[in-house]
Each structure stands twice: as C-alpha cells, then as structure tokens.
Chain A
Amino acid sequence: QQQVKQSPQSLIVQKGGISIINCAYENTAFDYFPWYQQFPGKGPALLIAIRPDVSEKKEGRFTISFNKSAKQFSLHIMDSQPGDSATYFCAARGTQGGSEKLVFGKGTKLTVNP
C-alpha cells in the first residue's frame, strides 16, 4: 500500500526560529512531492513542490530538502512567523492501477509563538 509517513504531528516554534517537518515514503515510483498548507476553515493550498531529480528547492522562506536514497523529504520554514501557523501536509504522486493518485501524510500542526 502506498504510504507517506509524516512527523511530527504537532510543532511549536518561536517567532524567528526554524520549523522542520519530515516525511518518508516507501514507493520508489513516486515522482512528484508537493507540500500543502492549510489554515483553519480553508482548504489546503499548494505551498511548494519538488521532483526526485532535485535535492533541494527553495521559495522564499520555504525549502524542500529531498533525499532520494533515504526516501525522505522535509520542509524547512526559515524565520518562522505567527502567520505561518497552520497545518502542513506532505504528499506524493504515484500511479496505482494505471491512474495517478496523490497520497497525503497525516499532517503537522505548526504553531509559531510571537
């Protein structure tokens, strides 16, 4: 079964600190790894994504690090701000039964204290 394991479940960081969320996967056929950000009362929104041929991707304060051999990828939020407080989901795209599917981690609730 295709799975993506995400940790930690919750994370509390002080303003200005670095938030790190980790994900691990099993299926080596996954070919696209997005991160979604969800605020209360809203649907998830694509934050940043990476493909397995790249080891790192940075967009502003958000960076994805990808380790293909370890089958792990992580989201780093630099200079974390209270406005970053949200739930973050990692995901992986794979093919099952001839159709593409996104498999999500269970989410990390991030709280950034002022």
Chain B
Amino acid sequence: KAGVTQTPRYLIKTRGQQVTLSCSPISGHRSVSWYQQTPGQGLQFLFEYFSETQRNKGNFPGRFSGRQFSNSRSEMNVSTLELGDSALYLCASMVGSYNEQFFGPGTRLTVL
C-alpha cells in the first residue's frame, strides 16, 4: 500500500508570493491533517479535512488555507508569504480517529 505522498518536496519562494502544496493520502483514508514543523516550535497543527470539510483548525492566520477534494487529496495554500513561513510542512492521513496517523515526507518551504 503506497504511503502518504507530498509534492513538491522542496520549494523556494520570495516574500509576498503565494504557494500551494499537495498531499495524497493513503488509499481509503478520508482524513488529512496539515502540520508546520520548525526547529523552535516543533509540530504545530494547521488544519484537518475529513470528507472535503474542514473538521478542525489550529491557531494560524487566515493566510493559511486548505481544501480537500472528493478523492481525499488535499492542498494547502499560503498567501503573502513571510520569512517566518519557512518550515517543513507535513501532511498526515488517517482512517478516522487519531489512533494512528501516517505522515508524508513533507515539503520543505524556504521563503527568501
């Protein structure tokens, strides 16, 4: 069974630009969560989508948004990029509850 895939793996943007990251969950998994990982803050929850609906949201500004498609694939968008948005963005999928979340390898975003 294929794992969680994320594209692209690396991304370099400049301040003010916007970026879209993609995540394909494990087949059959309907929940997709997004996390931001930085050395200082660790893993911080961005949002979770389940069956195309945002089910949960973390404490991030509105510049961070996401969506989920009918095939459970999810995208995350960050608008008006800031230097502080440089991070590893992780996507995780699960069947239903948080008994086991499977993480993708992440997208490394660098904002210059």
Contact = CB atoms under 8 A, between A and B. Distances in A.
Interface of A: 6, 32, 34, 36, 41-46, 49, 89, 93, 96-97, 99-107
A46 B56 contact: no
Contacts of A96: 56
Interface in B40-90: 40-45, 48, 55-56, 58, 90
Judged by DSSP, the binding face of A is strand
Nearest to A92: B98
B32 interface: no
B103 A102 contact: no
Contacts of A105: 42
B103 A44 contact: yes
B89 to A, nearest CB: 10
Nearest to A41: B105
A99 B101 contact: no
Contact of A101 (B42, B56, B105): B56
A44 B45 contact: no
